[in-house]
Structure 1
Amino acid sequence: MNTLSHLDRMLDPVTQMMPVEFAQKLVDFRADESMQQRIDYLRNRANQGTLTPEEDSEYKDVIDAIDLISLLQAKARRVLSRHTN
């Protein structure tokens, strides 16, 4: 079992408590333009293999944040699907 699946299981109670309005806002959440530009910059440098050590650390943090947000958004979609059926 990987770390993400442990986190997924540990966040199950969050899904049970998540209000529908919050779930919808979470599903709709996107990075703002400046953050998206920074993510794109770091992604391009990572793909080229030219990240500095500081950028590499920042990029790993970004990936962790994206993974967490994606997991929460998936949980939010489950909440919404239960309320639309």
Structure 2
Amino acid sequence: MSATATPSVLDRMLDPVRDCLTPEVARRILALRADPVTQAKLDEYAEKNAGGTITPAELDEYDAMVQAGNMIAVLQAKARAVVGR
């Protein structure tokens, strides 16, 4: 994030988490990846969404997966700040 960018609410809310991370925990957060089954489902939903064939139930699950991925990405940014210290 650039110095001039306005931090997101999620980013600001998770700042205290960064302050609690040890380097070891930060490295474990950086290593987080979706398991193969979850990644395959995410890829399937992304394809269906792009093609306009996703069902409402699938879209709800896809949205939840994307939101979880966004939260993990913010946590990983916080973890990078700890490891880089």
Identity of aligned residues (%): 41
Q: 1:48 aligns with which of 46, 51, 57?
A: 51
Residue identity opposite 1:37 in structure 2: A
Q: How much has 1:19 moved relative to structure 2?
A: 1.0
Match of 1:35 in 2: 38
The alignment covers a number of residue pairs equal to 80
Runs of 4+ residues over 2 Å off in structure 1: none
Residue identity opposite 2:8 in structure 1: S
Question: CA deviation digits over 1:4-54, x for unaligned, max 9?
Answer: 711111111110111111100110111111111011101110110111010
Match of 1:73 in 2: 76
Over the aligned positions, Cα root-mean-square deviation in angstroms equals 1.3
Query: Structure 2: 5+ residue runs without aligned partners?
Result: 1-5
Query: Structure 1: 5+ residue runs without aligned partners?
Result: none
Normalising by structure 2, we get a TM-score of 0.89
Match of 2:13 in 1: 10
**Structure 1 Cα separation of the partners of residues 46 and 10 of structure 2:** 24
